[in-house]
Amino acid sequence: MKRLIFSIFLTTILIRGEVAAQEKKWTLEDCINYALANNINLQRQQLLTEQAEVNYLKSKLNTLPNLNAGTDANLGFGRSVNPVTNLITFKQNLSNAYSINSSVDLFTGLTTLNSIQANKFLLSAGLESEKIARNTLVIEILGQYYQVIYTKGLEEASRQKMEQSEKQLFRITKMVETGRESLSKQYEMESRASADRLEFTVAKNRASQALTTLKQKLQLGSESGFDVLMPDLNTLIITDAEYKTDSVYTVASQILPRLKAIEFELKASEKQFAASKGFISPRLTVGGSVFTGYYKVMNETDLDQSSFKTQLKNNNSQAVWLSLNIPIFNNYTTGRNIKLARIKRDDTSLRLELEKNNLYTEIENACLEFNRGKDEYMAAVANLEFNKKSFNAVEKKFESGLVDVTDYSAAKTTLFSAETELLRTKLQVVIQKITIQLYSTGDYQNIIYN
């Protein structure tokens, strides 16, 4: 009995935990933190940065000498050469050799040093690209989050409009039952209420679709319960600040990772071009080696053969060598690589200029949309106030029988349009403001959590 009670108690706790998890409302900060921790594209970009770091480390280690050791064993049959006497023998024999060698490039036309610098700049570009991926993801989440808020706002406005129609329908139905209103007026109001219910259903489905899109961008599982916490839109303050395109661009061009990444790539391509030209110069290498070995004639007991240890000591030999390689003709390989490196450098330079032009255009449009959006928002505020007063007056006349259903519906539709327009303009200004602040700071953390 106690086990049964305990099982029921535990099950109740688990069910409550699942319900609480499903009923959790996600804030914008929750969405961004989850996306940054779990987004697959961002994780892939981080792997590319790790790859650039490995390449940079490898290029630095190329300046060190290499060191290799080797051994081999050979069992000879028939004609062979005795390495001790250097005479031809036909006896079965066993030979075993050991070697250690090392070499280092003294001069390579500065290709190694230029490659190190190029990989260093590529690593810096990878770090900036990682920031770009984070900022892009945040902007996508931010835009879709406010899209959810907007569609939910439309849903709420449609619901209020539908409830208003149903309230008037109920009032008119009662008046028809008492003979104070005609049946035709009830039919008109039923038609209006039905249209408002359809409008509410459409708005509800759009809000659900927007929520699903946000959930997909977060890459949440289909089994997860998901909903967002609606912020208090009245706390979103629209300031009178104005943004100048040139001022914002001057700051953005210095700090934005999207430009810094290409600038690092340009520096890397310049070093790669210099490294490719280094292959036309002579290459000087120095090295050394140590060799020893063991030799034994098999199935010969009457021969006086030295022991393994003695032969390794006696057969020891050393060598130091210096190599100079002068390239003369290599089937246009070096010339081709130099030309391709130059083309890549020039293309990166043009890409940087193009990105600067695109950035200026984006900032200009964002500033214009923000400044225009403020005017639209102020006009929408005034328009809503006027429409509220107008609708209240029409509603009183409608309840008094001074206006028909058509005029009442028109006034209600106008009020609904004013409410949705206010919501749209307010969210649009907020999004444009955040976008401009992102241009001005280069990092989402400076604007999202403040």
Indicate which CATH number applies to the domain containing 405: 1.20.1600.10
- Look at residue 233 and tell me whether its pLDDT is greater than 80: no
445 pLDDT band, cuts 50/70/90, is low
DSSP state of 234: G
| Domain contains 318 | no
- Is 140 part of a structural domain of the chain? yes
Please check whether residue 303 lies inside any domain of the structure: no
Mean pLDDT, residues 229-236: 75
Mapped onto helix, strand or coil, the DSSP state of residue 90 is coil
pLDDT at 124: 96
**Residue 17 or residue 147, greater confidence:** 147
Looking at residue 407, its pLDDT comes to: 86
pLDDT > 90 fraction of the chain, expressed in percent and rounded: 51
Q: Does 211 have pLDDT greater than 60?
A: yes
pLDDT at 235: 67
Q: Round to whole Å and give the CA distance between 119 and 267.
A: 10
Would residue 317 count as lying in a domain?
Answer: no
Closest by CA position to 36, among listed 443, 450, 326:
443
Is 347 a member of any domain?
A: yes
- What is the per-residue pLDDT for 236? 65
Per-residue CA distances from 265 to 129, 133, 344, 432 (Å) = 11, 16, 10, 30
Range of the domain at 117: 2-38+108-281+327-448
Stated pTM of the model: 0.81
| Average pLDDT value over all residues in the chain | 87
Dist. CA 431–CA 321, nearest whole Å: 69
Residue 439 lies in a domain: yes
Beta strand pairing status for 283-297 and 317-325?
Answer: antiparallel
Structural domains counted in the chain:
1
Q: How far apart are the first and last CA of the chain?
A: 55
The answer as to whether 238 is a domain residue is yes
pLDDT at 380: 92
Task: Determine the pLDDT at residue 395.
Answer: 87
Task: Kindly state whether residue 210 falls inside one of the protein's structural domains.
Answer: yes
| Spatial CB neighbours of 229, under 8 Å, sequence gap ≥ 6 | 25, 26, 27
Report how far residue 436's alpha carbon sits from residue 133's, in angstroms, rounded to the nearest whole number.
18
